[in-house]
Structure 1
Amino acid sequence: MTTIVLADDHHIVRKGMRAVLEAEADFRLVGEASDGLEAVQLVERLRPDVLVLDLMMPGLNGLEVARQVGKRSPQTRVLILSMHAGDDYVLEALRTGV
């Protein structure tokens, strides 16, 4: 079973993602964060297989969260979801290892 942490500052987005994930038998949602710092702390504590992450959040932005997660929990895969389509964001995420 794949364990997942969701991180997004919009409750409605987390609620929708939670519904999708809970419908899948192979996924288990183990935590939710509403800002970047909380996301890093949850990943350190829970060590999920996957972190689903918003790009723009209060505290730490998604790219900084991805950097910190890569150092603190390297086995956790990071998936960034965003409404921002700029190439700069994509390139920076790739440089981060996402």
Structure 2
Amino acid sequence: AYGYFTKKDLTSIGGFLIMALIGLIIATVVNIFLASSALYWVISYAGVAIFIGLTAYDTQKIKKMSLEVEADSEQGKKGAVMGALALYLDFINMFIFLLRIFGNRR
């Protein structure tokens, strides 16, 4: 909802969030070999924060696209599908990181 209703332009944080996501992937691969519990928790909380930001960024990007492109056009239809896919992936990944935080580890 923040990405839809805010007047602040979130395009400037998009590049930062993508780089943070790449860093998160690298940290996850490193933690596969280190098996550090502390790094696991840092990655989990950082993942939630990054995907909250990406959800807001993608929501605003979809809103801007909907104002610029006609919904019935081919570009509008493709943009709607790509926007839905981006939000779907944001929500799924955020859910996975929340499960890592609140789920029981054996």
TM-score range, shorter chain: under 0.3
- Larger helix proportion of the pair: 2
Higher relative contact order (CA 8 A, sep 6+): 2
Which is richer in strand? 1
TM-score (norm 2): 0.26
